[in-house]
Amino acid sequence: MKAKIVLACAVLLGCLALVVPARRAGSTPQASDLFSVVGGDYMSPLIGSPRALQRLNAELGGSGRFAGYDQLTVLVSSHTAPHLVNVTRYCGDLLSMLAVEYLEDGRARVEGHRVFVSETYWRSVLEAASDIVGTAVELGGETYRIAGIVRANSVLPLESDFWVPICSRTSYGTMTSMRVVGTLLAGKDWRDSEKLLRKLIHTNPLSEQLVELDAVRFLPVDRKLVLDSPALERFAQRFSWRARSKPAA
C-alpha cells in the first residue's frame, strides 16, 4: 500500500514542472505564487501558442499574468565543438515572474534574436568568458545574440542551458507548444480567475490556438504537494483512509 501511495503522489508531482519556494499549505495563491494551468484531472497541461498567451494577458490582465514555455534539445555550434544543449523557449514575462537574477544583464544593449545563457553553462563550457554578452551563438541552425547570464542561484522552472524568448509577431507566433503558467495579482480570487479563463479559452480565435481541455484548473507549483482544491483533498483523504484501514500485519 505504501508503494501505491508513493506512486500516486509521484504522478501528481510529475505535473509540477516548475519549482518555486514553498508556501503554507491551504493558503490562497498570492501575487508571487506560480501556478500551472491544467485540466480537470490536475495533470493534463493547457498548451497554447505565443499569440494565445498574448491574448490571455490582454483579456485577463486585471486578474494576473500568464506565460508559456517548452523545452528542446538542439545542437549548438558556436564557441566550441558542436554538441547538444537544453533550450527553454518561452513567451510572456516568465523570467520576471520567477524573479530571475542576472549575473550580467545586457538586455538594454542587445536587440533582435536574443538568448540568455545559464551561469552553469557559461562557466563550464564557455570558460566564464568576460565578453560573452553580445556575441552570437547558433542554436538549432538559428543565430542569436547572448543578452545576459542567468545567475545559478535563481529559482528556475527547469534545468536549461539557454533561454530563448519567443515573440508572438514572428513565424513562431502560432506554434502551439507552450505549457501555460501564471501568477495572480494580489487580492484576486483564484476560483473567480479560473472561471474567467475557462470562459475565455472557448472563444474564437483563441480556441484555435489552444489545446482544448475538459476543464481549467490552477495547480499551485510548489516543492511539496499543496492541497488547495477539493479534488486533491479528496485524493489525499482516499489514500489516507486506505492506509489507515489496512489490517495490521
- Summarised one tens digit per residue, pLDDT across range 229-245 is 444 454 444 444 333 33
The DSSP output letter for 43 is -
Average pLDDT over the chain reads 77
Q: What is the pLDDT of residues 176-215, one digit of tens each?
A: 999 999 999 888 888 899 988 988 888 877 887 888 777 8
Residue 79 has pLDDT above 60, yes or no: yes
* pLDDT value of position 156: 58
Between strands 162-165 and 83-91, the pairing is: parallel
**142 close to 188: Cβ distance less than 8 angstroms:** no
The domain segmentation of the chain, as residue ranges, is 1-16+222-249, 31-221
Q: How far apart, in Å, are the Cα atoms of 151 and each of 11, 105, 125, 240? A: 30, 10, 15, 41
Torsions phi, psi for 181 (to 5 deg):
-130, 165
Total-model pTM: 0.74
Q: Which helix (H) or strand (E) holds 200?
A: helix 190-200
pLDDT of residue 212: 76
> How far from 246 is each of 4, 86, 103, CA to CA, in Å?
13, 45, 53
Torsion angle of C-alpha atoms 14, 90, 184, 149, degrees rounded to 10: 100
Whether the predicted pLDDT of 26 surpasses 50: no
Q: Are 172 and 95 in contact (CB under 8 A)?
A: no
- Distance of CA 96 to CAs 34, 83, 137, 220, Å? 12, 29, 23, 18
Assess contact for 139 and 85: CB atoms under 8 A.
yes
